[in-house]
Amino acid sequence: MGFLLGPLFYFYVRGTLFDNRKFSKKDLIHLIPAFINLISITPYLLTPFSYKLALAERIFKDTMLAKTFTVGLYPNIVNIIARPTLLALYTIAVIVMLCQFWANMKTNDYIPKKQSRKILIWLFSFVFTVIITSVSFAVLSYLFLREHNPDMANFKTSLLMNIVGFCLLMVPVSLLIFPEILYGIPQATNNKKNDFVSLKTNKKREDKSILKNDIVNNSIIISEKEEKNEVQTDFQEKDIEPRFIELSQSILDYIKESEIYLNPNFSMEELSRSMNVPKHHLYYCFNTILNIKLTKIRAELRIEHAKKLLEQGLSDSLTLDAIVNKAGFSSRSSFQSVFKDEVGCTPGEYLKMKSEIVS
């Protein structure tokens, strides 16, 4: 696993920067060290568990054995030196890649600059964390190899080990505090074959309105044509690539026109698969442009559909459970809960109120 840290680190940064997580045949070169190590330790992996347990007990009693004992085809000291060295080389490659991307970012019109700056700050911080961790491990490895009979208890409680633990803890914590870093840097593309926006453009009317978010009631409304320039200016001030504004509109149109929200299993994964749009692009549109969660839109559209079914008198010919299923809900309890949250009353109270208005 130690030989995979460098390649995986490199693949993650590259995929985040260039919005392409495809694994090519050339990338197999990066896995050669890990593959060699796997071949080396395969005989040890095939040994009985009792042998592994006995070896662990011997190393626990005599730490010098960890330096001299050969588990695979070459001495263990090779792994102790090679792992941090390989990680250091990949860290240098990542830093070079980040600096090149930073230098070329201003001239690239297909990436959202604001999101790019956020991600670059995160990636540089991540690289800094990796450097501190690698240096700490390298120093610990040097001290371990230098001492004739190292005390493992002192190593485990040393300042360097605490630094390593703190750095490793900060990575998942930062993901919880700043979840937008998971979106990466979504980049618009000129690939017409897989571009959902381009495929939908030919079907759009010339006077189609552009989306706008109503912050007061946290619901999505479509602005009239005369407000189009004002909305576009607002998004430009937020440094949002126009193509993602179009994608956001296409997402809303697709959800409503296809009625995919009536699918009980409708989720971000299902939407990504149906539209052939990367999931992190969808997250970026919902959280940065639309400023609303998919679950909120799904609930609103399902309840509107359920209200139509109730108003059409289908409640007389269909049971409530049937209407629940037709509206895309998995259970009556979830339907009633969402209905009350959206409408402010139960389905029965809503029907009673409607009948009183008609009469």
Kindly report the CATH number assigned to the domain that includes residue 351: 1.10.10.60
pLDDT single digits (tens) 176-231: 877 767 667 676 555 444 455 544 544 444 444 444 444 334 444 444 444 444 44
Task: Return the percentage of the chain with pLDDT > 90, whole number.
Answer: 12
Cα separation values, 169 from 48, 83, 85, 163, 174, Å: 34, 21, 23, 10, 9
23 lies in the same domain as 138: yes
SS3 92: helix
User: Can you give the pLDDT at residue 111?
Assistant: 67
Q: Is residue 215 part of a domain?
A: yes
pLDDT at residue number 89: 92
Same domain, residue pair 315 and 328: yes
C-alpha pair distances (Å), 309 with each of 6, 280, 348, 355: 57, 34, 13, 14
Count Cα atoms within 13 angstroms, Cβ side, for 132.
Answer: 19
Indicate whether 140 and 251 sit together in one domain. no
Instruction: Assess if residue 188 is contained within a domain.
Output: no
**Residue 189 belongs to some domain of the structure:** no
Q: What is the pLDDT of residue 96?
A: 93
Domain that holds residue 340: 297-358
pLDDT digits (tens, 9 = 90+) for 118-132: 788 888 888 998 888
- 231 and 210 in contact (C-beta within 8 Å)? yes
- Which residue among 183, 217, 245 closes a domain? 183
Looking at 121, 153, 183, the residue that finishes a domain is 183
Burial (0-12, 13-18, 19+ Cβ within 10 Å), 118: middle
164 and 21 in a common domain: yes
The pTM assigned to this predicted structure is 0.64
- On whether both 81 and 153 belong to a single domain, the answer is yes
The string of pLDDT tens digits covering residues 314-357 is: 556 667 778 888 888 888 888 888 888 888 888 888 878 877 66
Full 3-state SS string of 205-261: CCCCCCEEEECCCCEEEECCHHHHHHHHHHHHHCCCCHHHHHHHHHHHHHHHHHCHH
Confirm if 291 and 213 have CB atoms less than 8 A apart.
yes
By CB atoms closer than 10 A (0-12, 13-18, 19+), residue 294 is: buried
212 and 237: one domain? Answer: yes
Which of 150, 183, 216 delimits the end of a domain? 183
More confident residue, 146 or 290: 290
283 and 302 part of one domain: no
Q: Give residue 135's identity as a one-letter amino acid code.
A: V
